[in-house]
Amino acid sequence: MSFPRVLVVDDFTTNHVLVKAMMKPYRLEIDCVKSGLEAIDAIRNEKVRYNAVFMDHMMPEMDGPEAVRIIRNEIGTEYARNIPIIAMTSNAVVGNEDIYLSIGFQAVISKPIQIASLDAIIKEWVQPFER
């Protein structure tokens, strides 16, 4: 039996460790990359088909929204257009969620991540699929 697999995109390794620890009870396979460019490459090459991507908003070189724009509009595959991408941000003020949703994210989770929020996101967006 294979477990759902997610990609965590964050420029801080400490956040990788934290998110992995928080997701451990869900029995997910978790891969981590440190940039939007690496996320784009992972989605484009499809060596692994992820059930969802957790994407940091603010990263050097390329921020999360720009990476999502490229994934959704430039890769050109159904997988890239439809994979659930969840914004992880410390900039989650009222009204910003609509902006994230309008640019291609499916959901927003605030940092620091609360267990209840993570639980709701995983239950709604991280669904197993046939590989």
Q: Over 80: is that where the pLDDT of 92 sits? A: no
Higher-confidence residue of 92 and 66: namely: 66
What are φ and ψ of residue 17, in 5° steps?
-60, -45
Of 48, 45, 57, residue with least CA distance to 30: 48
Task: Tell me the pLDDT of the chain averaged across its residues.
Answer: 92
Sequence spans of domains, the chain: 5-125
Q: The domain 5-125 belongs to what CATH superfamily?
A: Response regulator (3.40.50.2300)
Share of residues in the chain with pLDDT > 70 (%): 92
State pLDDT tens for residues 40-59.
999 999 999 999 999 999 99
Indicate the burial class of 93 (C-beta count within 10 angstroms; 0-12, 13-18, 19 or more).
exposed
